């Protein structure tokens, strides 16, 4: 049946929250304050999900989404929400997760103002496309791969690279990763179902006139390493390893991560999930020593090359490959601080290992507020206080954002066993 629903707020995932006959309804395509018409099923379940069929009364936060395929693509579920309202929602969602999941009452820690992105569109330096119908490339939506001619989130160099690849056939490739440097250089990561065919290898080699390099399974053609210059260091990336997509927000993220460590940032620091050095390299400019732990070998190779260029940095950096929790249990301490930037699933095992060592200060960079809250609860139970939480919007128009949390071991607390 059709029902009129008033949207109260946004929830994790970008849906709008409404209520109908005492039940919670999560509505896609709606902004806070909207009165929408939607199809609801009813029943005994506590909640259901639906999509707005039409907006009857737009709320103050509702704007016109500029992308013509926003409803089919699904990658930007907040394009119809005013950017100020997006920021407010991400701040509220940070507090909600820490309260509801972590048990941290409002006012028990400092919730810092959200850091907005300098670019609301055209901010992505990298993307991953999937093979669609009739040889097209696009993003995975609710109904399969949606072909994409132009993405409004792509930086100019990334859009130009995507355009250049639209014509050439890539036989057997099903997944295409693109990355670009600030100077406009590009690199590709091609994935196929099974070993790459000779035809795909030939086509990939031909692309070396368009891009610096290609990674093709375990093979490397040309030089796929891209470099972005920062004050005091050069950060390397490759299309087949993790790197932050919003280049314009990297300085703010680095500053927030180091600030979370306080004065301990100048001491002996262990960094878990260090990747290719987005946070490690600026940390090396002030820390006495850094031990970086990462499971991806190519990322560590990029980090080592960047550190070797920095005066005095190589001597105070030790890199260890392996699982964060396992490596940490065998590292000789003591450490003054720990910094971690885990994947979206969080780092419960690593957090428990950190707590057992009783490291005085911990900075946690998270791309998922609920898993951060879960791990923060483990730290609290192990004798740590949540000092602050700082949301940063690295992903405008989407439901994703980063949170940098700072934890301090309570004076007199014994190393945790949680």
Catalytic residues: 367
Contacts of 157 (CB under 8 A, 6+ apart): 125, 180, 181, 184, 186
Query: Longest Cα pair distance anywhere in the chain, in angstroms?
Result: 68
For residues 131 and 177, the answer to whether their CB atoms sit within 8 Å is no
Q: How far apart are CA 170 and CA 132, in angstroms?
A: 12
Please report where in the chains the tokens 């005066």 appear, as a residue.
Answer: 311
Q: How far apart are CA 260 and CA 279, in angstroms?
A: 12
HSE, side-chain direction, 13 A CA sphere, residue 233? 27
Residue from 113, 131, 124, 187 nearest 155 by CA? 124
- Tally Cβ neighbours within 10 Å of residue 84: 11
Containing 302, the helix (H) or strand (E) segment is: helix 297-309
Cis peptide before 24 (omega within 30 of 0): no
Residue from 403, 404, 406, 411 nearest 379 by CA? 406
> Three-state secondary structure along 69-111?
CHHHHCCCCCCCECHHHHHHHHHHHHHHHHHHCCCCCCCCCEE
Q: How far apart are CA 192 and CA 319, in angstroms?
A: 31
For residues 192 and 205, the answer to whether their CB atoms sit within 8 Å is no
Label residue 406 exposed, middle or buried (CB < 10 Å: 0-12, 13-18, 19+): buried
Q: How far apart are CA 417 and CA 17, in angstroms?
A: 38
- Note the Cα 172 to chain centre separation in Å: 29
For residues 90 and 81, the answer to whether their CB atoms sit within 8 Å is no
């Amino acid at each position: 049946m059709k029902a009129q629903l008033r949207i109260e707020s946004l929830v994790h995932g970008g849906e709008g929250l409404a209520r109908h006959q005492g039940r919670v309804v999560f509505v896609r395509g709606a902004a806070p304050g909207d009165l929408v018409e939607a199809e609801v099923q009813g029943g005994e379940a506590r909640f259901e999900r639906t999509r707005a069929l039409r907006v009857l009364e737009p709320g103050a936060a509702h704007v016109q989404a500029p992308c013509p395929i926003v409803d089919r693509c699904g990658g930007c579920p907040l394009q119809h929400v005013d950017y100020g309202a997006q920021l407010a929602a991400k701040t509220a969602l940070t507090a909600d997760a820490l309260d509801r999941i972590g048990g941290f009452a409002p006012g028990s820690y400092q919730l810092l103002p959200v850091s907005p992105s300098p670019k609301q569109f055209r901010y992505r330096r990298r993307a991953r496309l999937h093979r669609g119908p009739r040889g097209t490339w696009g993003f995975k939506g609710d109904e399969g791969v949606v072909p994409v001619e132009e993405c409004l989130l792509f930086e100019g160099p990334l859009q130009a690279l995507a355009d250049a690849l639209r014509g050439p056939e890539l036989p057997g490739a099903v997944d295409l990763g693109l990355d670009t440097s600030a100077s406009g250089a590009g690199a590709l990561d091609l994935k196929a179902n099974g070993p790459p065919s000779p035809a795909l290898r030939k086509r990939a080699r031909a692309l070396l006139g368009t891009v610096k390099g290609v990674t093709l399974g375990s093979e490397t053609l040309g030089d796929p390493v891209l470099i972005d210059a920062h004050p005091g260091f050069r950060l390397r990336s490759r299309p087949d390893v993790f790197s932050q997509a919003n280049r314009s927000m990297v300085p703010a993220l680095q500053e927030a991560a180091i600030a979370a460590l306080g004065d301990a940032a100048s001491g002996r620091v262990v960094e878990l999930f260090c990747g290719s050095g987005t946070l490690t390299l600026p940390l090396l400019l002030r820390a006495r020593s850094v031990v970086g732990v990462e499971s991806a070998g190519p990322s560590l190779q990029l980090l080592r090359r960047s550190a070797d260029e920095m005066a005095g940095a190589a001597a105070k950096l030790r890199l260890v490959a392996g699982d964060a929790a396992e490596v940490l249990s065998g590292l000789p301490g003591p450490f003054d601080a720990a910094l971690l930037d885990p994947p979206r699933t969080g780092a419960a095992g690593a957090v428990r290992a950190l707590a057992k060592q009783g490291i005085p200060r911990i900075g946690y960079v998270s791309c998922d507020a609920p898993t951060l809250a879960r791990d923060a609860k483990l730290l609290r139970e192990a004798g740590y206080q949540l000092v602050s939480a700082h949301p940063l919007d690295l992903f405008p128009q989407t439901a994703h954002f980063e949170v940098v949390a700072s934890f301090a071991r309570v004076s007199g607390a014994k190393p945790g066993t949680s």
